[in-house]
Structure 1
Amino acid sequence: MTIERNVFPTRDELAQALAISVADDLIAGIEENGVASLAVSGGSTPAAFFAALGAREEIDWESVTVTLVDERWVDETSERSNAKLVRERLMSGPAAQAQLVPLYSGGDAPTADAVARTNTALLALPDRFDAVVLGMGGDGHTASFFPGGDTLDAALSAKGPLVAIEAPGAGEPRVTLTLPRLLSTRALYLHIEGEEKARVLDAALATGPVHAMPVRAVLSQGTVTVQLFWCP
């Protein structure tokens, strides 16, 4: 495994540094391909990072497509919606010109037809992201790779971009980008904050089964360097 550790004294400094790094990735993608794509996580941790990135004026945001690492199967009117968070925190100011590809496509559950509709939208994105920003839960999950997930094996290995998953710790049914899709990226970030998450990360870096702490699948792969951004 290859992990680059970036440690910051405050959350604001981390947010600004991560925003600068991701902005550089997007600019590089636009320079090389004319477009750039970004996959981000939800939850409370990335809010300050979203605000910092969305304010960066040097990015040609009209050339950027944003999607989500994973999503709860809820409408964007729900406070639980990751898409709602991204629209409100990231896609304001200059970043309002970016395009968002949400993962929720309607209905009460992520049926095969609903997942197929979202897969069609995802397949229109470039084969490689310019940046993927992951988080990590206290149970060692990342994206929606949850311990005990009913389709965890598929989420970690399927060639298709998206898998529906349910797990005891997940709350609502969810959909998640698969591990192979997430690893197809110019840059891969793991953004965590607090001493408790640092202890979880240390446990995940120790030898143990992936299914117990699925973030191990990201930490142990040899495809792309994991750039850890952490603050106390």
Structure 2
Amino acid sequence: MKADPRVEWFEHRDAEAWIHAVAADMERILAVELAIRGEARMLLSGGTTPAPVYEQVAVAPLDWPKVTVGLVDERWLSPRDSASNARLVRESLLERADVGHFEPLVREGLTLAESVHAANLEASHAADACLAVLGMGNDGHTASLFPGSADLDRVLASDQPYAALDATGCPVAGEWPLRITLTPAGLARTRHRLLLLRGQTKREVFERALAGDDVRELPIRVALGLGIEPLRVHWCP
């Protein structure tokens, strides 16, 4: 990986080493935040890639009742659905650690617009997150910022932490095109950003992202050059 001041690149020999390293990085960031502020807030992504990391960090000796956990994005479906990010985070972390507070994005009984409003209201009253854990698809999307989606320009320009996005027609969105996603403005409020990558294909996509600047082509570029801290990228084959 070519040196880039926007990125700290961590390469691990295999999936087991990757899981332990990412969990240790998350624990370190949360421990520092708890020591300085007495509380911590982090935003997590869903998917199968980070689940074992969350299970590992759940056993960390942290003051979990003082930790708030939110989401980077969410599909517009029931929080009990097997494809829900909230369910994945609940099963891999919240049921294993005594977390103080969880901020869902889908609010049962509310419309999509009302859920987005509630998420933005909660985020506006919360402390800035010390940590956001991001993933990236083979199409270069991160959170639910899908290249080619009709709503992408509006979401990229939003000054709110969260926005609704319709990814109809974007193959990677699958059968859940309606999403609630962290915006670039929301991501900019996080102090540390971890990007979790596995496999050669994603490494090549990320290297292509570093070589250009068109966010609409590869939305992962929104995570580059934010704030003082570089994007911390953990990769394994």
Query: Same-fold call, TM > 0.5?
Result: yes
Residue 123 of structure 1: aligned partner: 124
Residue 77 of structure 1: aligned partner: 80
Identity %, equivalent residues? 36
Q: 2:92 aligns with which of 86, 89, 93?
A: 89
Residues 1:177 and 2:182 are matched in the alignment: yes
Q: Is the 8 A contact 1:2 1:222 kept in 2?
A: no
Stretches of structure 1 that go unaligned for 5 or more consecutive residues are none
Stretches of structure 2 that go unaligned for 5 or more consecutive residues are none
**Matched residues in 1 for 2:199 and 2:37: separation?**
37
The one-letter code matched in structure 2 to 1:39 is L
The one-letter code matched in structure 1 to 2:102 is L
Instruction: Quickly say closer, same or farther: Cα 1:9–1:114, change in 2 above 3 A.
Output: same
**Matched residues in 2 for 1:181 and 1:137: separation?**
20
Q: Secondary structure at the match of 2:149?
A: coil
**Matched residues in 1 for 2:191 and 2:131: separation?**
6
Q: Is the 8 A contact 1:6 1:229 kept in 2?
A: yes
What is the aligned-residue RMSD (CA, Å)?
1.7
Q: Aligned-pair distance for 1:224?
A: 3.4
Q: Aligned-pair distance for 1:178?
A: 1.2
**Matched residues in 2 for 1:204 and 1:70: separation?**
21
Q: Is the 8 A contact 1:73 1:109 kept in 2?
A: no
Q: Secondary structure at the match of 1:17?
A: helix
Q: Secondary structure at the match of 1:52?
A: helix
Q: Aligned-pair distance for 1:155?
A: 2.6
Residues 1:24 and 2:25 are matched in the alignment: no
Residue 210 of structure 1: aligned partner: 215
Q: Higher mean Cα deviation, 59-68 or 194-203?
A: 194-203
Residues 1:5 and 2:9 are matched in the alignment: yes
What's the CA shift string for 1:40-97, capped at 9, x where partnerless?
11011101111111111x210000000000000111111110000000011233x233
**Matched residues in 2 for 1:153 and 1:40: separation?**
23
The one-letter code matched in structure 1 to 2:29 is D
**Matched residues in 1 for 2:232 and 2:123: separation?**
24
Q: 1:33 aligns with which of 32, 37, 41?
A: 37
Residue 152 of structure 1: aligned partner: 152
Q: Secondary structure at the match of 1:148?
A: coil
Q: Aligned-pair distance for 1:143?
A: 0.6
The one-letter code matched in structure 2 to 1:110 is L
Residue 71 of structure 2: aligned partner: 68
Q: Higher mean Cα deviation, 117-126 or 80-89?
A: 117-126
Instruction: Quickly say closer, same or farther: Cα 1:109–1:138, change in 2 above 3 A.
Output: farther
Q: Aligned-pair distance for 1:149?
A: 2.3
Structure-1-length-normalised TM-score: 0.91
Q: Is the 8 A contact 2:68 2:99 kept in 1?
A: no
